[in-house]
Amino acid sequence: MKQNGENRLEGYTKMPELPEMETYRRLLQERLTGQAITDVSVQREKTINIPAAAFEEHVKGTAFSTVERRGKHILFRLQSGRVLLLHLMLGGFLYWGTAEDKLDRTAQMTISVGRHVLYFHGLRLGYLHLLTQEEAENRLAKLGPEPLDPLFTAEQFTRLIQKKRGVLKAALVDQHVLAGIGNCYADELCHHAGILPLRRIPSLQPEEEKRLFHSLQAVLHDALEHGGYMETPFFRGDGLTGGYNEHCRVYDRGGEPCPRCAHPITQDVWSSRKVFYCTGCQQ
């Protein structure tokens, strides 16, 4: 198992989900709110949506107003009125440091705030787009509700998944159904609820749907408390980010004994996605 802190500096190959992006949002909000952007460097133009010179001109010299999250996206709201919309996709991660303690790998983007630098790593598929407020809202308009919104109820959850007729995991990772859930937490919440992720939705009983909603809340809150499953710390000496790696019960645990019943965990492939579950205690 990987340990927290400075020893976890390996590359990252998973797609960050709600707990990982919310952990980033909280850490970024603490460091960036009200801070002026003193420098911008674009190493990979495909990461952005306008020419690098124009991007740097619009961003450099303005300041961060606030940092928000929507699903798997982070929105850096700038005092200029523009928005930087970030999606890390598969393999992307963030690092906060200085020129002296940066990671030994190339960043696709850097944004400097005085002597500190926000490094955007692994954005081969991800992006950081400069948008107007309206453009950002349009990009995110079709996302489903936030699972941890205090106003999101078990009844709403049930209505959303009952609109789907296929496999449970397909509904859980559909961003138009719920915003922010991906492979890891779909499998984790299904295990918590004792329900197989490949069950057909019409076969679910009302009591099972209630269990799924409870498990959704419990697993996401637990993952947030432990900093998500990122493998690279956000800053040197960071002991929070990635702490949930040690708490995953089935995800990436194929062949290991189930922590609930000791039956070997099954690793399967569904619709080109890995899926992990226990046939001993999930039905």
Could you tell me whether strands 116-121 and 93-97 are parallel, antiparallel, or unpaired per DSSP bridges?
A: antiparallel
> Of the residues 14, 16, 69, 211, which is catalytic?
16
Residue 273 appears among annotated catalytic residues: yes
Return d(Cα 62, Cα 11) in angstroms, integer. 31
* Per-residue CA distances from 265 to 1, 71, 109, 214, 257 (Å): 17, 28, 39, 22, 6
* Per-residue CA distances from 139 to 24, 83, 120, 256 (Å): 21, 12, 21, 40
Return d(Cα 283, Cα 277) in angstroms, integer. 10
> Of the residues 17, 22, 56, 188, which is catalytic?
17
Per-residue tokens: 150: 């205090």
Sign of CA dihedral 46, 50, 54, 58: negative
**Which one-letter DSSP state was computed for residue 208?**
H
Sign of CA dihedral 217, 221, 222, 228: positive
> Of the residues 31, 77, 236, 273, which is catalytic?
273
| Radius of gyration of the CA atoms of the chain, in A | 20
Residue 150 appears among annotated catalytic residues: no
> Of the residues 14, 25, 72, 169, which is catalytic?
72
Residue 72 appears among annotated catalytic residues: yes
Residue 253 appears among annotated catalytic residues: no
* Per-residue CA distances from 98 to 11, 119, 135, 235, 250 (Å): 19, 9, 32, 10, 36
> What are the catalytic residues?
16-17, 72, 273
